Amino acid sequence: MKIEEKRPLGTPFEKIGGEPKVQALVDRFYDLMDLEAAYAELRAEHGNVLDDARQKLFWFLCGWLGGPQHYAERFGHPRLRRRHMPFRIGLLERDQWVACMDQAMGEIGVPGALRSHLREAFFKTADFMRNQSEAEAL
Could you state, in order of their start, the residue ranges of all structural domains in the chain? 16-137
- pLDDT at residue 125, as a whole number: 96
The alpha carbon of residue 128 and the mean position of all alpha carbons in its chain are separated, in whole angstroms, by 14
pLDDT at 1 over 50: no
Q: What is the mean pLDDT of the chain?
A: 91
Helix (H, G, I), strand (E, B) or coil at 6: coil
Kindly give, in sequence order, each residue whose CB lies less than 8 Å from that of residue 54, ignoring residues fewer than 6 positions away. 26, 27, 30
- CB 87, CB 45: distance < 8 Å: yes
What pLDDT, in 10s, does the model give residues 40-93? 999 998 889 999 999 999 999 999 999 999 999 999 999 999 988 888 899 999
> Percent of the chain beyond pLDDT 70?
91
Which superfamily is assigned to 16-137 in CATH? Answer: Globins (1.10.490.10)
